[in-house]
């Protein structure tokens, strides 16, 4: 198993540098067939942020969901990623990374989130400072 950096996933999804995108897709496909690709939560958060710079929110969430369902791709804490995707879709102001941070916190005993983000501060269990 290997872990692929965020920039590999970004090139594979965005195709903004065609030679690098080809290399990224080839390397990911080979790794998926030879033991898998591990995706840490940090990579999921970074990737969502990078993709959101180019794509609409729903397209980003669909891409993340597809990764959850891809054979040979092992996502760290897939249930938390699913919860973060669902919370982002439900609205409340937070982006995927905000919701992923919250879900990781809740899974580790947190009961709420504090933030300076005005929009996210309106979400349930979130307090704006």
Domain boundaries of the chain, sorted by first residue: 2-76
Would you put residue 77 in left (φ > 0), alpha (ψ -120 to 50) or beta?
left
> What tens-digit pLDDT sequence spans the chain (129 residues)?
999 999 999 999 999 999 999 999 999 999 999 999 999 999 999 999 999 999 999 999 999 999 999 999 999 999 999 999 999 999 878 999 999 999 999 999 999 999 999 999 988 899 999
Dig out the tokens for 111 from the structure.
Answer: 């009961």
- The answer to whether 41 touches 54, Cβ cutoff 8 Å, is no
Alpha carbons 42 and 75: distance in angstroms, whole number = 11
DSSP-assigned letter for residue 27:
H
Extended strands (E) in 15-125: 37-39, 73-75, 113-115
pTM of the shown model: 0.94
Dig out the tokens for 68 from the structure.
Answer: 């959850």
């Amino acid at each position: 198993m290997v872990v692929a950096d965020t920039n590999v996933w970004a090139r594979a999804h965005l195709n903004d540098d065609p030679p690098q995108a080809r290399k990224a897709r080839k390397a990911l496909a080979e790794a998926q067939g030879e033991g898998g690709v591990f995706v840490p939560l940090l990579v999921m958060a970074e990737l969502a942020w990078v993709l959101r710079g180019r794509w609409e929110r729903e397209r980003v969430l669909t891409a993340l969901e597809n990764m959850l369902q891809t054979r040979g791709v092992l996502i760290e804490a897939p249930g938390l990623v699913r919860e973060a995707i669902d919370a982002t879709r439900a609205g409340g102001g937070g982006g995927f990374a905000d919701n992923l941070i919250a879900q990781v916190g809740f899974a580790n005993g947190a009961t709420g989130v504090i933030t300076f983000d005005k929009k996210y501060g309106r979400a349930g269990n979130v307090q704006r400072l």
